[in-house]
Amino acid sequence: MRRYLGRLFVGLKVNRVIEYLTISDILMLSGWGLINPIIAVFFTEQVTGGTVALAGLASTTYFLVKSFVQIPVARFIDLRRGEWDDYWTMVLGSAIISLSAFLYIFVKTPWQVIAVQVVYGIGGALSYPSWLAIFTRHIDRREEGFEWSLYYTATDLGAALTAGLGGLLAANYGYPLVFMIVGIASLAGTVFLAGVSRNIKKRG
């Protein structure tokens, strides 16, 4: 059994692009993990006229915007040669996602919630197709299962660690601090994408 387990991990080496993409998402998803489990509570407690129904409408707004925008974005980056368009689209989307966290600090009314969710959806529509395209191109041959599992394990653990912390921070220090931390973590994840650009240059 020990020999078999040792053989499983012999020669494993994750390339730099996959590393940077994974670390970037650990930061971003862990940050959003602070607020996502309690966002409905925020809507009902802090938004004037906010109800549980607003939480559902906000989620619907995000997914509708993301769904309708990401297909044209995906076609745009697929039809252009090279990876630089993918890279800058991903960076722009990540920056917009970060911006939406900071915007929530100033939200007071339901229409402002919907407006921020539109911004958040646009960020997701720009970021996800381009992120997936770059990850797919750079994933190591015969390590596909391992590298996808590594990504999901790392990001899920990050989200798990922050899920309970967000509620404690909001209860003791208020929601503005939580959204500030979410925004900073998302910005840090965006900055980490710079490591991807160095490896794209090497590939031409």
Per-residue pLDDT in tens (0 to 9) along the chain, 204 residues? 444 434 444 456 778 888 999 999 999 999 999 999 899 999 999 999 989 999 999 999 999 999 999 999 999 998 887 788 899 999 999 999 999 999 999 999 999 999 999 999 999 999 999 999 999 888 888 778 888 888 999 999 998 889 889 999 999 999 999 999 999 999 999 999 998 888 775 444
Q: Compute the distance between CA of residue 202 and CA of residue 184 in angstroms, rounded to an integer.
A: 29
Domain parsing of the chain, residue ranges? 14-203
* Residues whose CB falls within 8 Å of the CB of residue 131, separated by 6 or more in sequence, listed in order: 21, 25, 90, 93
**String of DSSP letters for 53-100:** HHHHHHHHHHHHHHHHHHHHHHHHHHHSSSSHHHHHHHHHHHHHHHHH
Specify the pLDDT at position 131.
93
> What 3-state DSSP class applies to 1?
coil
User: Which pTM does this prediction carry?
Assistant: 0.88
Specify the pLDDT at position 11.
52
Query: Which one of 3.40.50.300, 1.10.486.10, 3.30.930.10, 1.20.1250.20 gives the CATH number of domain 14-203?
Result: 1.20.1250.20
Q: Please report, as a single letter, which amino acid is at residue 11.
A: G
Place of tokens 């925004």: 183
Q: Compute the distance between CA of residue 37 and CA of residue 169 in angstroms, rounded to an integer.
A: 13
